[in-house]
Amino acid sequence: MPWYTVVQGDWLSKIAARFGLPSWKSIYYAPENAAFRTKRPDPNLIYPGDEVWIPEPNVKPDPGDTEKKHRFKLKPRPPEVLRLLVRRDTGEPFADRKFKLIVWDQNMQVLLDEEGLVPGDGIMERQIPVTATGGRYLLWPAPDASGTPMAWRLKIGHLDPIETVSGVQARLNNTGFHAGDVTGEINQQTTDAIAEFQRYCKAHSGQPHIADAGEPDGALSPKVRQALVKFYGA
């Protein structure tokens, strides 16, 4: 099988399904992908331009008489898990608040449409098929679900690793520190967002989801990356 170049919106399970492989593990743990594993120790975070070796599917022969009917059962592909967490500025989750989650595929066909209340810890986990590409998450902050909901557009499989500038920009944007367009290049808006994040970490030092991000100088340092991963959760 060929080498495959990752594009935006890919994740390993999606690539495995495209090539008829049973699991992302078939790709990630292939001997030819040892260097890729070193580069991307978290298999959930890959980057456009990464190259992975696609192994041959393991085809199992099943002999049978040609004049007889045979019954085969297709093993279903395990679903993926979409994990969402929305917190207040204080770090507290929006527990017991109304939400609405919609997930669709590339043809805008709805795969999941659900309403309910956010769990006590604020973490939403839902199984979705590998064909999912996007969605929308609505959350009503008021206890009685009155007023206009907060809304987020979901781009499934688009979060880049924290080692990349685009990955830093996306995490800053998703947590309310406005870094502007995800360009993959450091600009003044990104620098200002990093400084704002550093000030936030300093002001909320000691909370479980906060780490030391350094002085608020706007520099993209290893401390900033580590603190952003802890704050964001990935």
Q: Is the pLDDT of residue 52 over 70?
A: yes
Query: By the 8 A CB rule, do 45 and 91 touch?
Result: no
Number of CB atoms found within 10 A of residue 194's CB: 26
Q: Nearest CA to 229 among 76, 42, 79?
A: 42
User: 17: left (phi > 0), else alpha (psi -120 to 50), else beta?
Assistant: alpha
pLDDT at 79: 78
Q: How far apart are CA 115 and CA 138, in angstroms?
A: 9
Q: Which amino acid is at 36?
A: F
Backbone torsions φ then ψ of 133, nearest 5 degrees: -125, -25
Q: Could you tell me where the DSSP H helices lie in the chain?
A: 12-18, 25-28, 34-39, 165-174, 188-203, 222-232
pLDDT at 144: 94
pLDDT at 121: 87
Could you state, in order of their start, the residue ranges of all structural domains in the chain? 3-53, 79-158, 160-234
Task: Return the higher-pLDDT residue of 190 and 88.
Answer: 190
pLDDT, tens digit, 9 for 90 and up, residues 179-196? 999 999 999 999 999 999
Mean pLDDT of 77-100: 85
pLDDT at 59: 65
CATH class (in words) of the domain with range 3-53: alpha beta
pLDDT, tens digit, 9 for 90 and up, residues 26-45? 999 999 999 999 999 999 88
Q: Which amino acid is at 29?
A: Y
Residues 6+ apart with CB under 8 A from 118: 86, 93, 94, 95, 96, 97, 98, 99, 124, 139
Residues 6+ apart with CB under 8 A from 67: none
pLDDT at 93: 87
Q: Is the pLDDT of residue 94 over 70?
A: yes
Q: Is the pLDDT of residue 49 over 90?
A: yes
Task: Describe the crossing of helices 222-232 and 165-174 by its angle, rounded to 10 degrees.
Answer: 40
Q: What is the mean pLDDT of the chain?
A: 90
For 79-158, CATH gives: 2.60.40
Q: Is the pLDDT of residue 14 over 70?
A: yes
